[in-house]
Amino acid sequence: MDQKLHYCYPNYNISCVKVVRKYEEHVILYIFTVFVIIVTLCGNIFVIISISHFKQLHTPTNCLVLSLAAVDFLLGLFVMPFHFAAYIEYCWYFGEFMCYFFYLMYLFLTSASVRILVFISIDRYVAVCNPFFYTSNVTIFRTMLCIAIGWLSALLYTLAYLKSDGSTISTGCAGACGFDFLPAWGMADFLCSFVLPFSVISCFYFRIFIVARRHARAARTLGIVVAVFIICWFPQLVLAAYFLYAPVPDRYISTILSGLTLISLINSGINPVIYAFFYSWFQQCMKLIVSRKIFSPGSSQNIHLLYSENPTFLPHWQSEGCRFESRKCQ
């Protein structure tokens, strides 16, 4: 990086200092940014269209997958571009209103994403450990109700967070965008956003693995989902918790934290890639969408479009769960 001092707004007396990256580094980072955002938006749009269009994919589990894809799409649309640009430029060029909007959307959507992941773990736990109860009691309506509760609770939590005493959007110098809050709120957010949900997810998936240990494919897929969640979120949240109680704010720690936040956001683009590699229904849906066969009359109701090669296949993890032993987890 060029060590010469530069300013976000050279003509402003209160402009923030910025570090100018080398031209090659600048170009590479922006190419990477565009690639990640395109993969996130297009991948999640494929998931949304697939589950919405094909009626045979209208299952409780896939309603949760659809909701998660919607959250990830909105993150790719409203959060990723701003955060990537601020990280690359070392400055915020989008104004005070967009700074507030950015943090509102970031906190709201990440909170909603975590809640949906918890619902998915509960859904898979019931489907695997008690498939007969799952079939007769877990309906699309009840799943949609849970999703609505998850989104609403995430919104209320975010508003309470932003409006709490000591929480302010900081734009101290021209080109800055930060969120200042009391350490108590930060630790509460760390516990609510990671420790508690991750504990719940780990508990349910651990019980699932006990039942699913004889089914290598199911265990592998579940392991990837959990591992990706941990890898993307754990470093950022732990460092953020440490940063709350750091005796002196460290610019380097702040830069590292910003980079780790990018990794957590990239998780939004990874989920469709996992589906593409491990779920044949998603692969076939992508082919039908790209070839525009979904515009054919009756395409949404033609079950042979998806299941002609394997009539026992069911979307997502449902086929795996229903073949497990019919016994409750102890």
Q: How far apart are CA 136 and CA 5, in angstroms?
A: 66
Q: How far apart are CA 270 and CA 291, in angstroms?
A: 23
Number of Cβ within 10 Å of residue 82's Cβ equals 20
Q: How far apart are CA 266 and CA 282, in angstroms?
A: 20
The fold for domain 2-316 equals Rhopdopsin 7-helix transmembrane proteins (1.20.1070)
Q: How far apart are CA 51 and CA 95, in angstroms?
A: 37
Q: How far apart are CA 49 and CA 257, in angstroms?
A: 34
Q: How far apart are CA 33 and CA 110, in angstroms?
A: 19
Q: How far apart are CA 267 and CA 232, in angstroms?
A: 6
pLDDT digits (tens, 9 = 90+) for 157-206: 999 888 876 667 766 677 778 777 777 777 788 888 888 988 888 888 88
Cβ distance 177 to 86 under 8 Å? yes
Comparing CA positions, the residue from 320, 307, 294, 330 lying closest to residue 61 is 320
Q: What is the pLDDT of residue 296?
A: 80
Q: What is the pLDDT of residue 165?
A: 67
Q: Walk along the chain (330 residues) and give the pLDDT tens digit of each residue.
A: 444 677 788 777 777 778 788 889 889 999 999 999 999 999 999 999 989 988 888 999 889 999 999 999 999 999 999 999 988 888 888 888 898 899 999 999 999 998 998 998 898 888 888 888 998 999 999 999 999 999 999 999 999 888 876 667 766 677 778 777 777 777 788 888 888 988 888 888 888 777 766 554 555 665 676 678 778 888 887 777 777 666 555 566 677 777 888 888 888 888 888 887 777 778 888 888 888 888 888 777 654 545 443 333 343 434 443 333 334 444
The alpha carbon dihedral of 3, 9, 13, 15 has a sign of negative
Torsion of CA 172, 178, 183, 187, to 10 degrees: 180
pLDDT digits (tens, 9 = 90+) for 79-94: 999 999 988 888 888 8
Q: How far apart are CA 185 and CA 167, in angstroms?
A: 9
Number of Cβ within 10 Å of residue 41's Cβ equals 20
Torsion of CA 82, 151, 112, 56, to 10 degrees: -100
Beta bridge partners of 15: 174
Give the single-character DSSP code of 15.
B
Give the predicted TM-score (pTM) of the model.
0.84
Q: What is the pLDDT of residue 4?
A: 60
* Rg, the chain, Cα only: 22
Instruction: Calculate the alpha carbon distances from 326 to 102, 133, 159, 179, 214 in Å.
Output: 46, 10, 43, 49, 14
3-state secondary structure of 306: helix
Q: How far apart are CA 13 and CA 35, in angstroms?
A: 36
Per-residue three-class SS string for 113-148: HHHHHHHHHHHHHHHHHCHHHHHHHCCHHHHHHHHH
